[in-house]
A and B are shown apart, each in its own frame.
Chain A
Amino acid sequence: MASNSKSTKFSAKTTRPAQTLPLSLVVLLCSFFAGGCASSSGIPKKPWDSAAELKTLAPYLTADVMATYNSAGSIAAKTVYRDTVVYARLRAIDVTYSTFVTALAKERNIEAVATDTSVLILTGTASLIHPASTKSILAAISGGVVGVKGSIDKNLFYDKTMPVLLTQMEALRKQRLATILTGLSVPADRYSLTQALIDLEDYFQSGTVPYALMAVNAESGAASQKATKEIKELRTFSFNYGAAEDEDVSTKIRTWLLNGGTAWDPARRQELEGWLKEKNVTDAGITSFLNGPFKTQRSAFVTEKKIP
C-alpha cells in the first residue's frame, strides 16, 4: 500500500510539469510570432505610421477621380489633377508594397526560427519526461509542427525563390515607374488620367508574386525572343458621334465592312486600313475610327468609296 501510495504521489508530481510545460512553450512561441524578435527580419521599424499616411491619400484613391478629372475643364487643370492623383497613388502603392516586403521578411525569419526552435524544445523535452502519455502528447505536437513545415516547404521557397522574385519585382516596378514618369512629362491631352490609371495598375501588379512569376517564366523561356521587340501601344479616345446623322455614317461603314456577312470582310477591312494609313487618320484601328473623334474622316471615306 505504501508503495502504491508513493507511486501515486510520484505520478502526481511528474504529471504536473508535463501539463504546464506545453503552456510555457506556447508562451515562448507566441512571443516569437508576436514579433518579439523583430530585429531578426533585418528590417528596422518605420519611424512613421504607414496606415495614417494611406488615410491622407484616401481622397485620390476613390473611384470618382475620373469624374473630377473630366470636369476639370482646361488641359492645364486636368494635367495638374492627373499629376496629383498619380503621385498619390504611386505613394500608396509604394507604402503597401513596402508593408508586403516587410511582412515577407518577418514571416520568413520568425517562422523558421520559431518552427525549428519548437521542434528542438518539444522533442528534447519529451525525452526528459517519463510518463508515456506526456511523451506521446509532446511528440505528437512536435510531429505536427514538423509536418506542417515539411508539407509547405517554405524554407525552400523563401531561400531560393523569393529573392529571385523580389529582384524581378523591383526591376518590373522600375520599368513601369519610368513609363509613368515619362507620361507625366507631357500634358493631359497626350497622357490622360485613363492611361495613367492603366499604367498604375501595371505598376501595382509588378509588385505581386504572381506577376513576377509570370515575368520570370517569360524571360527564362524567351532568350531567343530578345530580338523580338515588343511594342506596347496605348491609345485613348473619347466616344464621339456628334449628331445622329454621323452615327448613321458609322453604321454605313459597318454595313459595308460586313458585306452581307456576320464578320468583317477581310478585303474590305484591308481596304479601310489602307485608307486610314494613306490618309494618316489613325493607327489605333477601325473601332477607334468608327467611334472616335473622326467624324469628318468617316464622311470622307463614305463619299470617296461611294458607300450607299
Chain B
Amino acid sequence: MTKVVTISNVPAKNKAQVEQDFRNEGAKHVNSTMEPDGEFTIIAIFENAQLADPKPDPKPGPKPSKN
C-alpha cells in the first residue's frame, strides 16, 4: 500500500518542521520543491501505509460547538 501526501504553500520558515512531521510519521521519502512565490510543496511517500477506511476525499470533520 502506498500513500502520497502533498502539502503545498508551505512558508520557508515552516518547511523543516513539516518535513520533520512527515518523517516522524514514518514517511519513506520526503521531497520538497520550491514554488515560484518562494513557498514550498512538500511531498511524502508512505509505503505499507495503514489506511483504515479509504475515503474518496478528505473532509473536515464536524465543527465543535462553541456554545
Are A and B genuine complex partners?
Answer: yes
Closest 6 CB pairs of A and B: A281-B61, A287-B21, A67-B36, A300-B64, A239-B10, A236-B6
Q: Contact: A231 with B1, CB < 8 Å?
A: yes
Residue of A nearest to B1 (CB): A231
Q: CB < 8 Å: which of B4, B14, B22, B37 contacts A233?
A: B4
Residue of B nearest to A194 (CB): B6
Q: Contact: B51 with A233, CB < 8 Å?
A: yes
CA distance A300 to B63 in the complex (A): 9
Q: Which residues of A contact B67 (CB under 8 A)?
A: none
Contact pattern, B 25-57, Cβ under 8 Å of A = 1, otherwise 0:
101000000011101010110100101111111
Q: Contact: B18 with A233, CB < 8 Å?
A: no
Q: Point out residues on B near A: beta carbons under 8 Å.
A: 1-11, 14, 17-18, 21-22, 24-25, 27, 35-37, 39, 41, 43-44, 46, 49, 51-64
Q: CB < 8 Å: which of B4, B62, B63 contacts A234?
A: B4
CA distance A290 to B39 in the complex (A): 18
Is A254 in contact with chain B by the CB < 8 A criterion? Answer: yes
Q: Which residues of A contact B14 (CB under 8 A)?
A: 239, 241, 291
Given A230-B1, A280-B59, A294-B60: A66 and B18 interface contact (C-beta under 8 Å): no
Within the complex, what minimum Cβ distance (angstroms) separates B29 from chain A? Answer: 13
Q: Contact: B25 with A236, CB < 8 Å?
A: no
* Interface secondary structure of A, over-half rule: mixed
Q: Which residues of B contact A281 (CB under 8 A)?
A: 60-61
Q: Contact: A254 with B64, CB < 8 Å?
A: no
CA distance A300 to B56 in the complex (A): 24
Of residues 276 to 308 in A, which have CB atoms within 8 Å of B's CB atoms?
A: 277, 279-288, 290-294, 296-297, 299-300, 303
Is A238 in contact with chain B by the CB < 8 A criterion? Answer: yes
Within the complex, what minimum Cβ distance (angstroms) separates A69 from chain B? Answer: 11
Given A236-B6, A291-B7: A283 and B51 interface contact (C-beta under 8 Å): yes
Is A232 in contact with chain B by the CB < 8 A criterion? Answer: yes
Q: Which residues of A contact B24 (CB under 8 A)?
A: 257, 263-264, 287
Identify 12 new A-B residue pairs, CB closer than 8 A, beyond the known A233-B49, A239-B7.
Answer: A67-B36, A190-B56, A231-B54, A264-B24, A277-B52, A280-B61, A280-B62, A287-B7, A287-B27, A291-B14, A291-B17, A300-B64
CA distance A296 to B60 in the complex (A): 9
Within the complex, what minimum Cβ distance (angstroms) separates A304 from chain B? Answer: 8
Q: Contact: B6 with A297, CB < 8 Å?
A: no
CA distance A231 to B46 in the complex (A): 11
Q: CB < 8 Å: which of B60, B63, B64 contacts A293?
A: B60
Is A63 in contact with chain B by the CB < 8 A criterion? Answer: yes
Counting chain A CB atoms within 10 Å of each CB, the highest count among B7, B44, B53 belongs to B7
CA distance A102 to B3 in the complex (A): 35
Residue of A nearest to B4 (CB): A234
CA distance A293 to B11 in the complex (A): 15
Q: Contact: A194 with B41, CB < 8 Å?
A: yes
Q: Which residues of B contact A195 (CB under 8 A)?
A: 6
Residue of B nearest to A258 (CB): B24
Q: Contact: A235 with B1, CB < 8 Å?
A: no
Q: Contact: B46 with A238, CB < 8 Å?
A: no
Q: Contact: B35 with A67, CB < 8 Å?
A: yes
Q: Contact: B18 with A287, CB < 8 Å?
A: yes
CA distance A237 to B57 in the complex (A): 11
Is A49 in contact with chain B by the CB < 8 A criterion? Answer: no
Q: Contact: A198 with B5, CB < 8 Å?
A: no
Is A64 in contact with chain B by the CB < 8 A criterion? Answer: yes
